[in-house]
Amino acid sequence: MDKGQIIEGKVVDFALPEGQGVLKEGGRVVFVSGVLIDEVCRVRITKLKKNYALGEVIDILEPSPSRVEPICPHFLEGCGGCRFQFMDYEEQVKAKERNARQTLEKVGGISWEEVDYEGFIPSPSPWEYRNKMEFNFGEKEGELILGLRPRGRYWDLVDLKVCYLMKKDLTRTLLKLFRDYGRNSSLSGYDPRKKEGVLRNLLVRYSSSQELLLGLSTVSVDLPRQEDLIEELRKNFPSLEGLVHIINNSPASALIFEDKKVLWGKDHFFERVGSVNYKVSIESFFQVNSFLSSTLYEKAAHYASLSGGETVLDLYCGSGGVGLFVADSAQQVVGVEENPQAVEDAKFNAWLNGRNNFTCIPGRVDKVLPLFSNVGVDVVIVDPPRAGLDKKVVRRVSSLSPQRLVYISCNISTFARDLLLFREQGYHLEKITFLDLFPQTPYFESVALLKKG
């Protein structure tokens, strides 16, 4: 095989999380973006590696019936927000399910005959499902722009008119309003390569009861024309709960809260899952797909299988999410969380919902876990960020010998890796359910029950 060579073939697999079709040619695997399983296509080889090649599609000779027209005008501009717009939703779910099952088999070493597989739950809505978006400011040809980064290009930006991942009418008005505000105020957009510029992010949080909370992140600066901005926002959004100015001078590309100042209203909003009300501060985590939060928490509660007398640990508890949801059925629940504002929210939420048996310990899970070494822990719930647990955490959780371990994960690869580590500690996967919390993207959530023996 040579670089530049044209090949024709059938797509035999679809690899996640990259979302690339897999062809086989001359004993080599060829990865191609923008093609679906079973499609026959003509491909130009663009890169040759030792064990595989990369190619770009020239023609789709036999398109899949699952191929659809992308609904968002920014998809073809390379916006990194949603990669799967060209396949119908049913096919997205199938591709994720295949990937989940293969990864757990290959990396997690499980045998499906020994696991109670409870299915892949699709999102009730494949569009406009997100309650949180983080848009970036930047500049193109000297003009301020506002949008999302193309995949793999942290310095680049697609100027968005609309985003369909969140309520489209809301994003359309917000993106225009903030872009106009920045331009009319002669504020520059931040360049992550040069580390220059003023406006960095627009953070939008929109609760299921339609409370709107906005954060404008900049380097240290006194924002001009604040009154005009607030007036314009209130005129357009009667459900606005607050506008917060976030200061972020950090060179990191992530949105970091070095300081915050409420410019108008409040710095938090409220969400409800089942019968539990949650105050969520602008910097605290909350499950992003409001349509599936209660299904996710109910599944976790079902796996925890509490009968009223248990001591439960809720590790990586955020604003108290799962722990407060199950607290009514346990003797006591102890949350652990490193974000100080989320810890405050969790404690407030325990009070708000009358869950006096819930407490939250601030700190990193690996540092806090030794405190429980002499406490009888019956059930441990973990819901770590994408990096998963580290070896030390797996060892420390296992040494508490909980009867049941409920693992909630947003990254199948790190979950599969941790599953192997738990196996070495004597835990096995008993039940698992997947939930599509992130339609149009390669990501999804897993909830699993692990038991000793």
Ligand X SMILES: C[S@@+](CC[C@H](N)C(=O)[O-])C[C@H]1O[C@@H](n2cnc3c(N)ncnc32)[C@H](O)[C@@H]1O
Least Å from the CB of residue 285 to ligand X: 4
31 in contact with ligand X (CB under 6 A):
no
* 229 near ligand X (CB under 6 A): no
Cα–Cα distance between 311 and 302 in angstroms, integer? 16
Beta-strand relationship, 199-206 and 212-218 = antiparallel
Q: Which stretch binds ligand X (CB under 6 A): 10-18, 87-95, 231-239, 312-320?
A: 312-320
Q: Report, in Å, the least distance between residue 342 CB and ligand X.
A: 5
- Number of other CB atoms surrounding residue 259 within 10 Å: 10
- Give, in order, the Cα–Cα distances in Å from 421 to each of 391, 431, 451: 7, 17, 13
- Closest distance to ligand X from the beta carbon of 249 (Å): 21
Of the candidates 167, 414, 130, 405, which has an alpha carbon nearest to the alpha carbon of residue 293?
130
Candidates 365, 405, 435, 448; binder of ligand X (CB under 6 A) is 365
Residues between 35 and 94 that touch ligand X (CB under 6 A) = none
Decide: is 340 part of the binding site for ligand X (CB under 6 A): no
Say if residues 164 and 128 touch (Cβ distance below 8 Å): yes
**Complex with ligand X: residue 229 or 296, whichever CB lies closer:** 296
Q: How far is the CB of 321 from ligand X (least distance, A)?
A: 3
Task: Give the bridge partners for 198, in sequence order.
Answer: none
Q: How far is the CB of 241 from ligand X (least distance, A)?
A: 19
| Total site size for ligand X, rule CB under 6 A | 18
Q: Per-residue DSSP letters for 114-160? A: GSEEEEEEPPS-SSS-BSEEEEEEEEETTEEEEEEPBTT-TT--EE-
| Nearest-angstrom CA–CA distance, 213 and 245 | 11
Piece of the chain touching ligand X by CB under 6 A; list 108-116, 172-180, 311-319, 420-428: 311-319
| Alpha-carbon gap, residue 339 to 444, rounded angstroms | 24
Residue 182 is a binding residue for ligand X (CB under 6 A): no
Identify residues 367-396 at the interface with ligand X (CB under 6 A): 383, 385
The only residue of 123, 281, 287, 289 in contact with ligand X, by rule CB under 6 A? 287
For position 342 contacting ligand X by CB under 6 A, the verdict is yes
Q: Which of 116, 122, 422, 450 is nearest to 305 (CA)?
A: 450
User: Of 29-37, 301-309, 318-326, 371-379, which segment contacts ligand X by CB under 6 A?
Assistant: 318-326
Asked if 441 touches ligand X (CB under 6 A), the answer is no
Site for ligand X contains 318 (CB under 6 A): yes
Q: What positions carry a catalytic annotation?
A: 410
CB of 343 to ligand X, least distance (A): 9
How many angstroms separate the CA atoms of 323 and 173, rounded? 36
Nearer to ligand X, 72 or 322 (CB): 322
- Minimum CB separation of residue 323 from ligand X in Å reads 8
> Per CB under 6 A, which region of 44-52, 70-78, 131-139, 317-325 contacts ligand X?
317-325
Determine the Cα–Cα distance for residues 442 and 19; give it in Å rounded to an integer. 7
How many Å separate Cα 156 from the centre of its chain? Answer: 21
Residue 43 or 292: the one with the smaller Cβ distance to ligand X is 292
Cβ distance to ligand X smaller for residue 153 or 364: 364
Asked whether position 339 contacts ligand X by CB under 6 A, the answer is yes
Nearest 5°: CA angle at 183, between 178 and 189?
A: 80
Q: Does 337 bind ligand X (CB under 6 A)?
A: yes
- The CA–CA distances, whole Å, from 136 to 84, 91, 173 equal 21, 30, 16
207 binds ligand X (CB under 6 A): no
| Coarse DSSP helix, strand, coil percentages of the chain, rounded to the nearest 5 percent | 25, 35, 40
Which pair of structure tokens corresponds to residue 377? 């822990």
Shortest reach from residue 154's CB to ligand X, in Å? 21
> Which position among 338, 351, 356, 399 is part of the footprint of ligand X (CB under 6 A)?
338
Given 263, 301, 336, 343, the residue binding ligand X (CB under 6 A): 336
CA distance 394 to 417: 11
3-state SS, residue 402: coil
- Interacting residues toward ligand X by CB under 6 A: 285-287, 316-319, 321-322, 336-339, 342, 364-365, 383, 385
